[in-house]
A and B are shown apart, each in its own frame.
Chain A
Amino acid sequence: MNTAPVIEIDHLTKFYGTREIVRDLCLTVPAGSIYGFLGRNGMGKTTTIRILLGLEEPTRGRTRVLGEDSTRLNPETRARIGYLPEGHHVYGWMTVRECGKFQASFFPKWNQDVFEAVITHFRLEPKMKAGHLSRGQRAGLCLALTLAPEPELLVLDDPALGLDPVARRSLLQSMLYVTRQPHRTILFSSHLLSDVERVADRIVVLDGGGLRADCTVETFRQRLRHYVLKFRDTPPAAPVLPGLLESFRTDRELLMTLANVTPETEALLAALQPESMEPVEMTLEDAFVSYVGERGEKTFFTHQLNGHK
């Protein structure tokens, strides 16, 4: 069903001075899915997005969007990409209606119905001054301005930042609405994992500038497992296992979070001869925190998680 990939990132590396922000990143996003772009602050999400859109030059490697090199996007291709930068900036002296007209003049395609639908959804009036809007209303206006040209690719940089729960829900509804049309693709970065779990088809995790996971939400959860091992006496020290992210010892228990558990790993756990041993399901948030937290190994997991269904 998929045609050419919408985003292709090929060995992308970016330095700011001597600081490496993105390290040898490879990623392919096919058409028609919602990608959640995750990672802690400062892990290169915004930089990657800006390079994709041709707003910054890569140090090494290259990126292509809708089949064109990011550094040489022509205006027609650019018009097929909707970009919502962090922070929801608006021209405060314009009214909502004027913002729409202004934006429309830059795009060959402009769907006024979509603009008005999103505006109404966020309870905005055309004659409101953009400078007087609340954070959530401003987000709504920016989203309307980004969606009205009916972009094939929508790139949202932390769109939920600073929004109240109602505005966030409206944002998610708008995202799902966009992907009603086949082959529309969304890449959005977020720290709100419950939102990601609601709408994303797949997640991409950046950490230390590099790719650490590219898989479905479900796979991510399944591959990370938390074990509770109960002992009669003081538990032994946690064994060195491949994929061990975290371990924690109490008087009688050994708690371990592991990635990519295999039957062999389970056998090694059983060899510690605990009184009982049970895997516990984790929330997406717990799984993410263990995965990119301070402890934990940093160099496995992407290979097994790469690839599409």
Chain B
Amino acid sequence: MPLGFTISPASDVPIFRQIMHQIQRAVAARSVRVGEQLPAVRTLAEALVINPNTVARAYQELIREGLLESRSGRGVFVAERRQVFSEAEQERRLRHLAEQLCHEAALLGTPWGEVSALLEKTWKQLQRTPAATA
């Protein structure tokens, strides 16, 4: 599994959430595919030198969000995509990030045209990556 995890403990983002973000990013960029298995909790915990419960917590949260699924006795896998968030929740999550992006662009003085072009380019890059296979 091509997941190069890195964590920084002294951050204001809890370790379990740092792991969640990295898995989410990898799935969005399709560097991991649907049906692919994640490293065992122990293995990842030992590689990162962190408490195994922290890794388990990250996996559990992502299972709850529908991104991962646990197959009994076999491990944790990237799940078939399904929507577990309400439209309101989806909007809330994206709005927060949109605000951040716009603030940053305003600070840098980047015109809207460039911002929207950049968004479009990023979006297309994601679409171009080979479709996920089970």
Give me the interface of A with B, judged by CB distance under 8 Å: 34, 169, 172-173, 176, 180, 193-195, 197-201, 217-218, 221, 280-286
The answer to whether B51 touches A200, judged by C-beta atoms less than 8 angstroms apart, is yes
Determine whether the beta carbon of B15 is less than 8 Å from that of A197.
yes
Contact A198 to B14, CB < 8 A, known contacts A172-B49, A176-B49: no
CB pair A281 B13 closer than 8 Å: yes
| Complex: A143 Cα to B49 Cα, angstroms | 17
Q: Are B53 and A201 in contact (CB under 8 A)?
A: yes
Residues from 43 to 64 in B contacting A, C-beta threshold 8 Å: 45-46, 49-53, 57
Please list 25 pairs of residues, one from A and one from B, whose beta carbons are closer than 8 Å in the complex, sorted by A's number: A172-B49, A173-B49, A176-B50, A176-B52, A194-B9, A197-B9, A197-B10, A197-B15, A198-B9, A198-B15, A198-B49, A198-B50, A199-B49, A199-B51, A201-B51, A201-B53, A217-B14, A218-B16, A281-B13, A283-B10, A283-B11, A283-B12, A284-B9, A285-B10, A286-B12
**CB contacts between A and B, total, < 8 Å:** 46
Bound complex: CA of A245 vs CA of B9, how far in Å? 24
Taking CB atoms, residues of chain B closer than 8 Å to A218 are 14, 16, 57
The residue in chain B whose Cβ has the minimal distance to the Cβ of A283 is B12
Which B residues, 1 to 58, have Cβ-Cβ distances below 8 Å to chain A? 9-16, 42, 45-46, 49-53, 57
CA distance A169 to B47 in the complex (A): 11
Nearest-neighbour CB distance to chain A for B16, whole angstroms, equals 8
In the complex, residue of chain B having the shortest beta-carbon distance to the beta carbon of A169: B49
CB A121 to nearest CB in B, in angstroms, measures 12
Q: Are A281 and B51 in contact (CB under 8 A)?
A: no
B: interface residue count bin: 10 to 19
Are A282 and B49 in contact, CB atoms less than 8 angstroms apart? no
Say whether B10 contacts A198, CB under 8 Å: no
The SS class assigned to the A binding surface is helix
14 additional A-B pairs beyond A176-B49, A197-B15, A199-B51, beta carbons within 8 Å, are A172-B49, A176-B45, A176-B46, A176-B50, A176-B52, A194-B10, A197-B9, A200-B51, A201-B53, A218-B16, A281-B12, A283-B10, A283-B12, A284-B10
Residues of B participating in the A interface, judged by any CB pair closer than 8 Å: 9-16, 42, 45-46, 49-53, 57
Q: What separation, in Å, do the CA atoms of A172 and B11 have in the docked complex?
A: 18
Residue in A197, A200, A280, A285 with the greatest tally of chain B CB atoms within 10 Å:
A197
Contacts of B9 in A (CB 8 A): 194-195, 197-198, 284
Which partner residue on chain A sits nearest B42 by CB separation? A180
In the complex, which residues of chain A have a beta carbon less than 8 angstroms from the beta carbon of B42?
180
Please name the residue on chain A nearest to B45 by beta carbon. Answer: A176
For A199, list chain B residues within 8 Å (CB): 49-51
Chain A residue at smallest Cβ distance from B46: A176
Residue of A nearest to B52 (CB): A176
Complex alpha-carbon distance, A172 and B7, angstroms: 15
Question: How far apart sit A284 and B50, CA to CA, in the bound complex (Å)?
Answer: 15
Instruction: With both chains docked as a complex, state the minimum distance between the C-beta of A288 and any C-beta of chain B, in angstroms.
Output: 12
Given contacts A176-B45, A176-B46, contact A198 B51 (CB under 8 A): yes
Closest to B50 in A: A198
CB A283 to nearest CB in B, in angstroms, measures 5
Q: How far is the CA of A198 from the CA of B15 in the complex (A)?
A: 8
Distance A201 CA – B51 CA, assembled complex (angstroms): 7
Most chain B beta-carbon contacts within 10 A, residue among A169, A173, A199: A199
Minimum CB distance partner of A171 in chain B: B49
Q: How far is the CB of A306 from chain B (nearest CB, A)?
A: 20
Instruction: Give A218 to B14 CA distance when docked, in angstroms.
Output: 8
Chain B residues, CB < 8 A from A172: 49
| B12 with A176: CB separation less than 8 A | no
- Bound state CA distance, A197 and B9, in angstroms? 6
Q: Chain A's nearest CB lies how many Å from the CB of B107?
A: 17
A99 to B11 Cα, complex, angstroms: 40
